[in-house]
Structure 1
Amino acid sequence: MNVRLGIIGVLIFTCSLQSFSQISHPKASPFAIVEQEFGLSKIKVEYSRPAVRGRHVFGPQADGQKGLVPYGRIWRVGANESTKITVSTDMQVKGKHLPKGTYALYAFPEENSWEIAFHTNLSHWGDGRKNYNPNEDLFRIKLSLEKLSDHQENFLIAFDSITHNSAQMELTWANTRLVIPFEVDTHAQMELEISRQIESNPTAQTYYEAARYLREQNRDPKRALQYLNHALRIGGDTYYFHRVKSLVEAALGDYKSAIVSAQKSMELANQQDKDEFVRMNQKNIKLWKTLLKDE
C-alpha cells in the first residue's frame, strides 16, 4: 500500500514539475486586436501579425519557388489561428449582406486581385486547407489590389475613411494593400433609437438629441422643430436648445424666428460665460438679418 502511494506521489510530483517547467516563448507572429466604431456600429478583428523578415511574401519568387502566400491557395489572413471578424450590427460588404455576428476571414490571393471569404466555421486552426469547406462560406467578394512603394514589415489590419455610414478595412503587408468596404444604414438605426427612446420615458434631453441629430443630418427640419419646442416646454431654457432651434428655423427659411432664438441663446450663453456660443450666435444673427433684407 505504501509502495503504491509512493509511486502515485512520484507521478504527481513529476507531472507538477513538467507543468511548471514549460517556458513561454515570444510569438513570431504576435496576436493583435483592432476595433473600430462607425455610426452606431463596431467591427472587431482578432488576428496575428507575421513579419516579412526578408522573405518573399505573395506569389512566386523570381526563381519560380513559392512565396510565403502562394497564389490560388487559401490564406488565413494572418498567422496561427484563423483571423476572426465580429460585426455588431448587420452590414453590407460590396453589396453582400453581412449579418451581425462573428466570422472567420480567409483570402484567396492572386496577382492583381483577391477573393475574400466570410466563413461561418470558426473552428479551423491555421489556413484550414485540410478542413475548409467552401459550402460554409457566407459569401465571397473579389477585390483589386494596390501595390505600394512603401514597405510594411508586419502584416497590418487597420481602418480608414470612416464616416457615420461606412469604414474601409485595410489589409497591408510587404508592398500589397487590399481594402474591404463596410457600409451600414446608420440613419435607419438612429430612427429606431429615436422612436425607442421617445416611446419609453423621454426627457427634454431626449427630444433635444433627436432634433440635433436631424439638424446635423439635414433631415426633416419640421419634425426637428417639433422636438425642440417640446424639449423647451418640459426642460426649461438652455442656450444650446435655443441654439439648435435657431439653426432649424433658419433651415426652414424662418429667419425672423431664427434671430429671436439665436438672441435668446446668446443671452443665456452670456450668463454662463459661454463665449464661443455668444460668437456663433452673433455671426448667425448678422447673416440672417442680411438675408431678411434681401427677401
Structure 2
Amino acid sequence: MGNLGKQLIGFMVVLAVSSVNAQITHPKASPFTTISQDIGLSNITIKYSRPAAKGRHIFGGLVPYGRIWRVGANESTKLSVDTDVMVKGNLLPKGTYALYAFPEESIWKIAFHKNTGHWGDGRKNYKPEEDLFRIEVSPKKIAYHQENFLITLDAITHDSAQLKLIWGDTMVEIPLQVDTNAQMEKEIELQLKENPTAQTYYEAARYLQEQATDYERALGYLNMALELGGDTYYFHRVKSLVEAALGNYEAAIASAKKSLEIAEDLEKDEFVRMNAKNIEKWEANVVKQ
C-alpha cells in the first residue's frame, strides 16, 4: 500500500473516532440544582435533579408505591450537614448521605443512606443495611400543583427547620433539629475571653433575648455593652425588651424612650415606631400593676 493509501486510511480512522466521541451538549430533562441553607450555626446542602410532572400521575403512578425512589432524578440525591443534626430522634452525624424514599399512600419511609456511590436508586446494589436509619412521615395533599420536583427548607429557626419534598399535589415534611445553643454558649464563652468589645456583649445579649432565656445574664451583657460602647438605639432597644421580659416595665419604658430619642435623631423611622408601640403597651402594664 502506498503512502497516499496509508494516509487516507489514517484520516478515515481519525474521522470515525471523532464521530463516535462527538456529543451534543443539550438541556437536561431533569435539571440539576444545589440548595444550601444555614440553620443557626449549622449548614445543610442538598444536591439533586428536578424532574417535571408533564401531566403525569406522580405518586402511585410515575413513582410506584412500595418501591425505592431516588428522591429526584439521575444520580442519587445527596444531603450534606456540617454539624450533627437530629432527625425525628435519630442522630445524623456531620457528613454526606444519599437520600432515598419508599412512598406509600399513607406512610413514606425516608432512608438516610451511608453509601453515596450508587447511581440513581442503586437498584440491586442498594443494601438496606447501609442505611444509617429510616424514619416514617405522612404525605400531605397540597392546594396547588408543583410541576418540577422541589426540595426546600422552611420554618427555619435558630434550632430547627422542616425539610420539604414537594411534587405534583403531594408534600412530605421531615423535621430537623440542631443544637445551636450548645454551639452559641461555646462561642460566647470564647469571644468574651478574647478582648470583648461592646458589640461582643451586645450580640451575646441579643442571642439570649431572641432565645427567651437567661434574661438576667443578657441584662448584664447589655450594661457592659453600654459601658464600653456608649448609647446606641439598638443597645437600648434590646435592653428594653430584656427589662420587659423581667417584668420591670418602668425600666423598659425608660430604655425604649432613650432608644426612640436616638433613633429619631438618626432618622431610623422603623425603630421609632417599634419603640413607641412598646412604650404604649408597657405603660398600660404599669397602670395595671
TM-score for both structures, normalised by structure 2: 0.85
TM-superposed deviation, 1:16 = 7.7
**Partner-residue secondary structure (3-state), 1:104:** strand
- Give the distance between the partners of 1:27 and 1:15, measured in 2 at CA: 27
> Where does structure 1 lack aligned partners over 5 or more consecutive residues?
60-66
TM-superposed deviation, 1:207 = 0.4
Name 2:221's counterpart in structure 1.
227
2:98 pairs with one of 90, 94, 104: 104
**Partner-residue secondary structure (3-state), 2:119:** coil
TM-score for both structures, normalised by structure 1: 0.83
For residues 133-212 of structure 1, the aligned pairs below 5 Å read: 133-148=127-142, 150-212=144-206
TM-superposed deviation, 1:50 = 1.9
- Give the distance between the partners of 2:172 and 2:273, measured in 1 at CA: 46
Name 1:45's counterpart in structure 2.
46
The two structures, once aligned, show a CA RMSD in angstroms of 2.9
Q: 1:78 to 1:226 in 2, by over 3 A?
A: same
**Partner-residue secondary structure (3-state), 1:121:** coil
- Of residues 130-139 and 277-286 in structure 1, the stretch that sits farther from structure 2 once superposed is 277-286
**Partner-residue secondary structure (3-state), 1:130:** helix
Aligned residue identity for 2:194: S
- Give the distance between the partners of 1:199 and 1:11, measured in 2 at CA: 74
Q: 1:279 to 1:108 in 2, by over 3 A?
A: closer
TM-superposed deviation, 1:20 = 7.2
Overall identity of the aligned pairs, in %: 64
TM-superposed deviation, 1:203 = 1.2
Q: 1:113 to 1:204 in 2, by over 3 A?
A: same
1:115 paired with 2:115, answer no
> Where does structure 2 lack aligned partners over 5 or more consecutive residues?
none
TM-superposed deviation, 1:10 = 4.6
**Partner-residue secondary structure (3-state), 2:158:** coil
For residues 36-75 of structure 1, the aligned pairs below 5 Å read: 36-59=37-60, 67-75=61-69
TM-superposed deviation, 1:97 = 1.0
Q: 1:152 to 1:270 in 2, by over 3 A?
A: closer
Aligned residue identity for 1:22: Q
Q: 1:6 to 1:232 in 2, by over 3 A?
A: farther
- Give the distance between the partners of 2:81 and 2:127, measured in 1 at CA: 22
